[in-house]
């Protein structure tokens, strides 16, 4: 599986760890930046580019997911979710990571690097990457309604 990863300055050390750790586990890691610590960095471009790459890969039939990291995970999730076709979920424990995939077919996970130990954050992300989407009818229907709104601007009841 290809995994696109992006961060802001608060998640830079965690990002470097994940690139090495997940790469060693066989994931194809694609780093969308930043490449160096800058407390004044502007994270939206990094996160949006990672999200765009996830959408492009999935459209091309490539198995791909994304990881966005920040201090809390909130703002990087918001940035990723601005990309059409992205369902970025903020995960703060193993259950929220698994449910994001199982019920919501989330294709990007957001994690707060300042909210977890490296080990804890790694476990959350590994749970997200490993969990398949259930394909349950109710979940497919609900995701379809979100996609319909995204495409047309109309709310489907």
Res. 41: pLDDT tops 90: no
The predicted-structure confidence for 53-73, as pLDDT tens digits, reads as follows: 999 999 999 999 999 999 999
Task: Please give the distance of CA 2 from its chain centroid, rounded to a whole number.
Answer: 12
Contacts of 86 (CB under 8 A, 6+ apart): 51, 54, 55, 66, 80, 107, 108
| Rounded Cα–Cα distance for residues 77 and 120 (Å) | 19
Phi, psi dihedrals of residue 65, rounded to the nearest 5°: -135, 175
Looking at the chain, the whole-number percentage of residues with pLDDT higher than 70 is 100
The structure's pTM equals 0.96
| Rounded Cα–Cα distance for residues 127 and 22 (Å) | 12
110 three-state secondary structure: strand
123-142 mean pLDDT: 98
Res. 39: pLDDT tops 90: no
The predicted-structure confidence for 110-119, as pLDDT tens digits, reads as follows: 999 999 999 9
At 40, is the pLDDT very low, low, confident or very high (cuts 50, 70, 90)? Answer: confident
Res. 16: pLDDT tops 90: yes
107 and 54 in contact (C-beta within 8 Å)? yes
The predicted-structure confidence for 75-92, as pLDDT tens digits, reads as follows: 999 999 999 999 999 999
């Amino acid at each position: 599986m290809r995994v696109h990863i992006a961060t802001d300055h608060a998640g830079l050390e965690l990002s470097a760890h994940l690139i090495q750790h997940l790469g060693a586990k066989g994931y194809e890691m694609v780093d969308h930046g930043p490449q160096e610590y800058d407390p004044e960095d502007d994270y939206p471009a990094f996160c949006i580019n990672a999200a765009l790459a996830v959408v492009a890969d999935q459209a091309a039939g490539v198995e791909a997911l994304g990881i966005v990291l920040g201090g809390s995970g909130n703002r990087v999730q918001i940035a990723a979710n601005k990309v059409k076709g992205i369902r970025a979920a903020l995960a703060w424990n193993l259950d929220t990571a698994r449910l994001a995939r199982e019920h919501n077919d989330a294709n990007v996970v957001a994690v707060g690097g300042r909210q977890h130990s490296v080990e804890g954050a790694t476990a959350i992300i590994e749970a997200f990457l490993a969990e398949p989407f259930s394909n349950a009818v109710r979940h497919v229907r609900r995701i379809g309604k979100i996609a319909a709104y995204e495409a047309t601007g109309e709310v489907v009841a």
